[in-house]
Amino acid sequence: MSTPLLDQIRAQGEGGGAIPRHVAVIMDGNGRWARERRLPRTLGHREGMKAVREAVEGCIEVGIQVLTLYAFSEENWNRPAIEIGALMGLLEEYIARETAELRRNGVEVHVIGDLSRLPPAKREAVDQLVMGTLGGTRLQLNLAISYSSRAEIARAARRLADDVVQGRLALEDVDEDALALRLYTAGLPDPDLLIRTSGELRISNFLLWQVAYTELYMTPVLWPDFTRDHLYQAVLDFQGRERRFGRVTA
């Protein structure tokens, strides 16, 4: 399928405008979307499920290799029990509804975060989603669930310390690469582009290590209104940037 924005991305690519390999998204604005319509917050979260499909299919169209979505943070466990229950229910519904479609589209799903906090039925559903999409080659979709970047870094530090204590790693070999290999995202390229919806200007404890040199794109669009065209606009903006990684160009 071709659209004017997608055609622009492809033309930019032919002219040297790089396609991001890894896009990360902070999906924000479900509650505000519902509040503006005087609807329950849970309906905002339900509408947000449609935007997830738009983002996934848009990434496949563009040729992005990895998409990481911030679905549920560790801090979200502090929300009212009724909202947490609704979010967990929507997670299970998403898995039941989308697994076959994701598999058909060649999407392999991975889940990052502290899954020990999930209720057993939800953990089983997540495992079924991962196994049901194993082998997809067009896009790796990472769902960050019960995720905290600070907790992830602390976990990696504990694993490093244990490897040193057990003699599996020499102290002088503890470096950035060694820590990165113990993150949930080990083996993946760092995000080239981070999109946050709803106009907020925060990282919100998401991939703090990985986004050190990531290009940030903040849009006022609320997540339930996010379409693949909004993704394409973010990619076009990315293609127009000069990435120096601390260096100076001649």
What pLDDT tens digit does each residue of the chain (250 aa) get? 678 999 999 898 887 889 999 999 999 999 999 999 999 999 999 999 999 999 999 999 999 999 999 999 999 999 999 999 999 999 999 999 999 999 999 999 999 999 999 999 999 999 999 999 999 999 999 999 999 999 999 999 999 999 999 999 999 999 999 999 999 999 999 999 999 999 999 999 999 999 999 999 999 999 999 999 999 999 999 999 987 776 666 5
Report the pLDDT value the prediction gives residue 223, as an integer from 0 to 100: 98
- Domain 4-8+21-147+189-239 fold: Undecaprenyl pyrophosphate synthetase (3.40.1180)
Catalytic residue among 76, 114, 190, 229: 76
Beta bridge partners of 196: 26, 218
Catalytic residue among 28, 30, 142, 225: 28
**d(Cα 250, Cα 244) in Å, to the nearest integer?**
11
Report the pLDDT value the prediction gives residue 129, as an integer from 0 to 100: 97
Integer angstrom CA distances of residue 76 from 73, 79, 94: 5, 5, 18
* 105 assigned to active site: no
**d(Cα 212, Cα 59) in Å, to the nearest integer?**
22
Report the pLDDT value the prediction gives residue 185, as an integer from 0 to 100: 98
* 76 assigned to active site: yes
Q: Would you kindly state where each structural domain of the chain is located, as residue ranges?
A: 4-8+21-147+189-239
CA angle 230-209-154, nearest 5°? 130
Report the pLDDT value the prediction gives residue 218, as an integer from 0 to 100: 98
**d(Cα 232, Cα 238) in Å, to the nearest integer?**
10
Report the pLDDT value the prediction gives residue 216, as an integer from 0 to 100: 98
Q: Which of 239, 198, 189 is nearest to 215 (CA)?
A: 239
- pTM, two decimal places: 0.95
